[in-house]
Amino acid sequence: MRKHILASLALATLASCSGTAPDNGEKEGVTTVLPEQKNEVTVMKLTRGDFHHELVSNGKVAAGTFADLCFRTSEVVAKVWVKNGSFVRKGQKLAELDLFALNNSLAQTRNALAQARLEMHDVLIGQGYQPDNLDAVPAEVMELARVKSGYDRALAQHEAAQHAVEQATLTAPFDGVVANLFDKQYGMAKSGTPFCRIISTSAMEVDFTVLENELPLIKVGDQVEVMPYASAAGTHTGRISEINPMVDDNGMVRVRAQVGAGSKLYDGMNVRVSVKRSVPDQMVVPRTAIVLRSGKQVLFTVQDSVAMWNYVTTGLENMTEYTLVNWEESGLQEGMTVITSGNINLAHESPVKVIGD
């Protein structure tokens, strides 16, 4: 038994020391080689052109012309012909007070004026002058007669009563829209308190602010687009009418633009304002052409089907484009092919495939 075990160990040792292994036809490692992938990009030619500068701000609509109408006396409102939002024409009746008391007061002052006129004539006759020839009465005598008879006081009271009757009917001073009408028919009108407001829709104004460093980019007469946050009101165009020559504590400057938008813009409406101005002879590239590398702006160009890395500095910008500043110092030349998309993961000298302009 012992001899059999020793023989087996000897055979095993011999086999292990021989250095040979069975050839099973398998490889100990696998190497996979992928074909080189080219980044697909779109391009454009670097050329000069007009840059449409756009400055965006938030603003508020204000009526260019409005009038707060009020009754001069406190009486019951007899009639109301309009309501909030009604479009009215110049001279159109809006509301009217109860005229009984006012007409009664007018009649009393008319009688008092007639009596004062008779007393004035008596004074003139007493001075030796004929009432039917007042032009011949000296000025000092006429003044004395008017004072003694109380004619001037009666005339003033009559004119005041007549004016009160006229003011008892509110009429539109110009074409516009009715607003802030809250009193009802048969209610008591408050003297001196606005009954309603008429807002002219021929020209609305938009107040907005710009940063101090943006002042050189705008001027009076520049075109603006006004876009209410209420999308149903649409987009309206206008022009800057004034720039307030004062910078507030926050470094902002107030600007006003006139917009002719009919009745679609309301007084107090919040809007988005876009100021547009054309700047000629600029090197313009799409915003998508500029990427950031280590906090710096980079523009890729194509040379011999590879992407070339160019550091650039942008100037003006709008929603879709940049202008390039000192672009010649970056090694760029007019007519170069610029990558406009597909450049997010590009590196210097990455192979690219142009798929479109």
pLDDT digits (tens, 9 = 90+) for 254-285: 999 998 755 578 888 899 998 877 888 899 99
10 Å CB burial of residue 118 (0-12, 13-18, 19+) is exposed
CA torsion 317-322-325-330 (nearest 10°) is 150
User: Is the pTM higher than 0.75?
Assistant: no
Degrees (nearest 5) of the Cα angle 9, 11, 13? 70
Residue-wise pLDDT tens digits, 236-257: 889 999 999 999 999 999 999 9
What pLDDT is stored for residue 273 in this prediction?
A: 93
| Beta-carbon count within 10 A of 108 CB | 13
Residue-wise pLDDT tens digits, 39-87: 899 999 999 999 888 888 999 998 888 999 999 888 999 999 999 989 9
Residue of 223, 227, 217 whose CA lies nearest to 238: 223
What share of the chain has pLDDT > 90, as a percent? 49
**Exposed e or buried b for every residue in 119-157, given b needs 16+ CB within 10 A?**
bbbebbeeeebeeeeeeebeeeebebbbeebbbeebbeb
Give me the residue label for tokens 């992938």.
37
The DSSP code for 35 is: P
Where residue 171 falls among pLDDT bands split at 50, 70, 90?
very high
Please name the residues in contact with 267: beta carbons below 8 A apart, sequence gap of 6 or more.
Answer: 61, 62, 63, 66, 179, 199, 204
